[in-house]
Structure 1
Amino acid sequence: MKIYNQLSDFKKLDNAVVTIGTFDGVHYGHQKIVKRLCELAKSSGGESVILTFFPHPRIMIDPENQDLKLINTIKEKAEILADLGVDHLIITPFTRDFSNLSPAEYIQNILVDTIGTKQIIVGYDHRFGKDRKGGMTELEAFSKIYNYSIEEIPEQDINDVAVSSTKIRKALLDGDVALAATYLGYHFAINGPVIKGDKIGRTIGFPTANIFVEETYKLIPSDGIYAVTIEMMEEKSEVESQESGVESSSRLRTKDSRLNLYRGMAYIGQRPTINGMTRNIEVNIFDFNREIYGQHIKMNFLKFLRHDVKFTGLETLTQQLHQDKLDTLAFFKSNEELK
């Protein structure tokens, strides 16, 4: 998939099959539209194009409201869309000027003159242009002038999925990562480099990798303990050990031979037992003892285990962490497909 960070980078196509939206989460409802987009492109000999926006239009329209957090970073969204088979992803800066385009200007300047749209696929409630005044009526009226066709995903088809980005955000903020996964069709993930912590976990037998989430707009689930899998790139020494037949029992293979997948338990919270002042995201990777500071890892959230609690001291915290690990291992044992 080719990615463009502004419309001016895109070279007009002869037969572009296009859909437009923010697609936060790229959930089952979004996937229905994207899969149909790719089907239409393939059957017509065209190329599939998704026009999306960054920052999120709600942030630009209401800059005073900084509470909106997104399910995906722009990089995560791109990776999911690429896996779905999209040919082109245009990430349009959602500026004040862009938001002030009339429906007519939007269709002519963006869809027709810049992208080369021949087919458009949209959801039943798609709106565009200044004050969201554009819709199916305008798309149909201008289709006769600019010679493009339109396919609308009916309300019934989308409502049958019974999912929305808002529902997913609520599930994650409640800690219900399993429910979020049923809406998304994949496990919610956090990506980021491993940074140095205060190493208290090492002193009680539960060393953790602290993850720094660089994107401030990324949604972080509710505080608590979670069963997770961790993806990280192989190092040269690991490749050599695999070739010699030596491999850790905790390491799980992925489709990408360069990636290792591990099991573990994650913690999100302010560490009240030690009177922590900042919110941490850290993970105890089972049967793992390498230094990975600076390495980028991906953490997939599978199950919520318990809420964050202030214990009387490190001894009682350690006892609970042993139980958390047993609960996590029991979860993996009862979900063999995750191995």
Structure 2
Amino acid sequence: MKIFNSIQEFNSPTKTVVTLGTFDGVHKGHSSILDRLIATSKGSGCESLVLTFFPHPRMVLQQNTDIKLLSTIQEKAQMLEDHGLDNLIIHPFDLAFSRLTAEEFVKDILVDRLNICKIIIGHDHRFGRNRTANIDDLIRFGNEYGFEVEKISALAVNEVSVSSTRIRNALAAGEIAIANMYLGYPYFLTGTVVTGKQLGRTIGFPTANISVKEDYKLIPANGVYVVSAIIDGKAEEGMMNIGVRPTVDGNSLSIEVHFLNLDKDLYGREITINVHHRLRDEQKFASFDALKEQLFADRENSVMYFKQNSV
């Protein structure tokens, strides 16, 4: 897959089948659209192309929004590549772009820059300055400029919209099973292992402290989770605490992973943590001994989860 950091970077003599959107999380609702896009491109001899934006348009147009995203740009790109996409454009979204007229968007971008042969788009899609143009206008432009318009059904569009909202709400509430059902895969966090206070090591539970650099990435609700990661080509099982570590008077959010069968220096490495199941809320214990007793129970429950579930 070829990745372009702006529309202006893209320049191809090959015709393209295009869809556009945020594709946040690249969840099950998106998959049907991507499958249709890729199948259409292969059947027509054109290349598939997704046009997406960063920052998220709501971050620009709604200045007070606190929206968190399901996937970072890098995570999204990898998932789209895994689907078999040919081209991905991640265009910087700004106020100037939002003020393009509908015809400027169609002629200057879709036709002249993206070399479009077909666009696959939601039936209720609105575009152009102040979102004044609709699907009927797009069809009219298609007839004028020589490209096809395929409407995505109301059911499919609703599935995408409902799924994204439901996933965000579920993760914020710690409902990881619901989030994973809508995603079609375990929610994951990618970050770098950094040095922590190493208190876990003193009670037999060494942890990898994960730093997620993208502040817009949605972190699930505080609590203890069953997780896994691929490290040096091997699947490693573990448990993760997200929270402020109240038992040791912590006051800032931390993400700590204890791997069940791994004792290896991971400092400085980037790893991806797959989140499978929520064990419990984060809680404050009366003593280190009480905390240690609970951690043994958490580890036992994590082992049991992996025995009963393939991941």
Flag whether TM exceeds 0.5 (same fold).
Answer: yes
Q: Name the CA shift for 1:4/1:161 in 2 (closer, same or farther; >3 Å).
A: closer
> Match for 1:84: what amino acid?
H
Instruction: Indicate the residue corresponding to 2:252 in structure 1.
Output: 278
SS of equivalent to 2:261: coil
Question: Could you tell me which amino acid in structure 2 is paired with residue 124 of structure 1?
Answer: H
Give the structure 1 partner of residue 292 of structure 2: 318
Q: 1:64 to 1:156 in 2, by over 3 A?
A: closer
Aligned to 2:54: 54
Show the counterpart of 1:306: 280
Structure 1: runs of 5+ lacking an equivalent? 235-258
Aligned to 1:42: 42
Which residue of the partner structure matches residue 150 of structure 1? 149
Moved more, 77-86 or 123-132: 123-132
The within-5 A match list for 1:111-122 is 111-122=110-121
Secondary structure in 2 aligned to 1:17?
Answer: strand
Question: Partner amino acid for 2:21?
Answer: G
**Partner residue in 1 for 2:169:** 170
- Structure 1 residue 145 displacement after superposition: 1.2
Post-superposition Cα deviations, 1:262-286, rounded to whole Å, max 9, x if no partner, equal 0000000000001101100010011
How far is the alpha carbon of 1:125 from its aligned partner? 2.2
Preserved contact between residue 163 and residue 183 of structure 1 (Cα < 8 Å): no
| One-letter amino acid matched to 2:276 | L
| Residue 217 (structure 2) aligns with | 218
Which deviates further from its counterpart, 33-42 or 127-136?
A: 127-136
1:71 alignment partner in structure 2:
70
Structure 1 residues 120-146: Cα deviation after superposition (integer angstroms, max 9, x where no partner): 001222222222222201111101111
1:190 Cα offset (Å): 0.3
| 1:115 partner SS | coil
CA contact (8 A) 1:33 1:123 kept: no
Distance 1:223 1:319 in 2: 20
* Partner of residue 268, structure 1: 242
Take 1:112 and 1:159, find their aligned partners in 2: how far apart are those partners? 28
Contact 2:30 2:160 in 1 (8 A): no
Task: Provide closer, same or farther for how the CA distance between residues 94 and 157 of structure 1 changes in structure 2, counting only shifts above 3 A.
Answer: closer
Q: Deviations over 1:41-65 (max 9, x none)?
A: 0000110000000000000001232
- For residues 181-220 of structure 1, the aligned pairs below 5 Å read 181-220=180-219
Offset at 1:160?
6.2
The residue that corresponds to 2:91 in the other structure is 92
The one-letter code of the counterpart of 2:285 is: F
Aligned residues: 311
Q: Does 1:4 align with 2:7?
A: no
Q: Distance in 1 between matches of 2:64 and 2:114?
A: 33
How far off is 1:328 after superposition?
Answer: 0.8
Aligned with 1:164: secondary structure? helix
Query: What SS does the aligned partner of 2:197 have?
Result: coil
Provide the TM-score with structure 2 as the length reference: 0.97
- Cα 1:13–1:51 shift into 2, 3 Å: farther
Does the CA contact (< 8 Å) of 2:24 and 2:76 recur in 1? yes
Give the Å deviation of 1:302: 0.2
Determine the C-alpha separation between the residues in 2 that align with 1:13 and 1:319.
Answer: 64
Query: Is the counterpart of residue 129 in structure 1 residue 155 in structure 2?
Result: no
State whether structure 2 residue 53 is matched by structure 1 residue 16.
no
Letter of the aligned partner of 2:286 in structure 1? T
CA RMSD after TM alignment: 1.3
Percent identity at matched positions? Answer: 45
1:86-106 CA distance string (max 9 Å, x none)? 000000000111011111111
Q: How many Å apart are 1:161 and its aligned residue?
A: 7.4
Alpha carbons 1:17, 1:119 under 8 Å: kept: yes
| Aligned partners of 1:230 and 1:297 also within 8 Å | yes
**Structure 1 counterpart of 2:115, one-letter code:** G
Alignment correspondent of 1:334: 308
Partner SS state of residue 218, structure 2: coil
- Counterpart of 1:239 in structure 2 is none
Equivalents in 1 of 2:182, 2:46: separation in Å?
30
Unaligned runs of 5+ in 2: none
Counterpart contact for 1:28–1:163, Cα < 8 Å: no
Q: Distance in 2 between matches of 1:183 and 1:164?
A: 6
